[in-house]
Amino acid sequence: MTDLLTPIQAALGLPHTPIPFTSSGALPSAFAVTELACASIAAAGQAVSELLHRQTARLPDLEVDRRLASFWFSTSIRPAGWSVPPMWDPVAGDYAALDGWIRLHTNAPHHRAAAERVLGTCADRATMAGKVAQWAKSDLEQAVVEAGGCAAEMRSRDQWQAHPQGIAVNADPLIEFTRNHSQRVKPWQGSVARPLAGIKVLDLTRVLAGPIASRFLAGLGANVLRIDPPTWDEPGVVPEVTLGKRCARLDLHDKTDRAVFEGLLMDADILLHGYRADALERLGYGAAYRQQLTPGLIDVCLNAYGWSGPWQDRRGFDSLVQMSSGIAQAGMGWKQADKPTPLPVQALDHATGYLMAASVIRLLAERLSGGHGGSARLSLARTAKLLIEAGTGSDEPLREEDQKDQGMEVEQTPWGPAYRLRVALKINGTPLQWSLPATQLGSHHAQW
């Protein structure tokens, strides 16, 4: 069986302890997606178990259910009598260019506008396809990126390995930890049942990876406050990822809102962010200033393409990284398809989210013992390398989802009632449970 847990444990400084994966089957893929799901969730659970071991001298057992882990890597919410809006903009997707394939990511209005500045207004996929077909894929990728948009041509694994950004990603660790000298001595306020009670998480992340991390932390009792810009929305994922959080809006270009943000940051234990590498610096909130403002801060972030190399500041998403890194092309060969074949779920996002959560908990355990803050940096592209190098997974199909896979509790959301899948991770004595239902962005005040 593919072992993805060992390299993840090594990256996190966790003991190389086997963790049982129950049930059977796997998501159909050219890659070991279910193994990645199980390993990343297991590592987050093991980080919790080790934190509790330090605080209570008891080491809880844990296990991960393969089926449920696979399903959670897609969606966990099951609406009752309503439906989640579509995840993708109507013109987002893969297109045939003159010399191969390219993916355009147009979910955010400003990203669609950037693509249309290059290609002209496109009301539907057919119009877009006709325009893309006139371009060479590399030229179009570059033009859309320079216009402030998001695009990725389909590259093979070998092409990515030879690309300057692929070379840079290969040199990066899976998780880059940095310890800092600023201190905050704060006793553990948690319990076995709620290990992160009393911990304040300021969440500046969007779409999937970062929000998956903060959702996991909220399920362990953390006080998570998500901050979004005034007009940002992501209706296709908000019901999935805001579980357990309060959500507010601030404009970090506005003087008054900046003062509010700084007050929140000064009280935060953990900052999660997923902006491009240079974004907080340009807003005046560089790493050194964040530590100065909040001694002992645990600062964990991700980006798409890594933290060195020519693309470190490039906009990107899971689906684009799959195109760039060779995953979509390998899937095409595996399925013997005539078009790019991505992973069956956005596994780079989900796995990186659980690795972020595990990094937070590792840094928190260290701060509880020594008082020092620290940071961790992750990227979707580096998680992609981990998955690609693991090779193929099991081809035994998963048993279909049924009603027994859902929890009993009704979640009263603003859109209507819903159920959640039962959690994939069991930590003995520490149930993952969320005290707040999913909610709309901007539905709370920006205060702890």
Closest CA to 439 of 305, 285, 156, 245: 245
Q: Is residue 337 part of a domain?
A: no
Residue 382 maps to which CATH number? 3.40.50.10540
Backbone conformation region of residue 434, classed left if phi is above 0, alpha if psi is from -120 to 50, else beta: beta
Q: What is the pLDDT of residue 1?
A: 57
Q: Is residue 156 part of a domain?
A: no
> Among all chains, which residue has been given the structure tokens 């998780």?
175
Q: Is residue 64 part of a domain?
A: yes
Amino acid at 381: A
10-residue block means of pLDDT along the chain (448 residues)? Answer: 90 97 96 98 98 97 98 98 93 96 94 95 93 97 96 98 98 96 89 98 96 98 97 94 98 97 97 87 92 95 96 94 98 96 98 98 95 95 97 90 95 98 98 98 98
Q: What is the pLDDT of residue 182?
A: 81
Q: What is the pLDDT of residue 2?
A: 74
Q: What is the pLDDT of residue 278?
A: 78
Instruction: Count how many Cα atoms sit within 13 Å of the Cα of residue 199 in the half-sphere of its side chain.
Output: 29
Q: What is the pLDDT of residue 102?
A: 98
Domain residues for 239?
Answer: 5-83+169-306+345-427
Q: Are 309 and 165 in contact (CB under 8 A)?
A: yes
Q: Is residue 130 part of a domain?
A: no
Q: What is the pLDDT of residue 279?
A: 84
Q: What is the DSSP letter of 430?
A: B
Q: Is residue 206 part of a domain?
A: yes
Domain count, the chain: 1
Q: Is residue 332 part of a domain?
A: no
Three-state SS at 265: helix
Q: Is residue 404 part of a domain?
A: yes
Q: Is residue 52 part of a domain?
A: yes
- Taking the C-alpha atoms of residue 315 and residue 276, their distance in angstroms, rounded to an integer, is 6
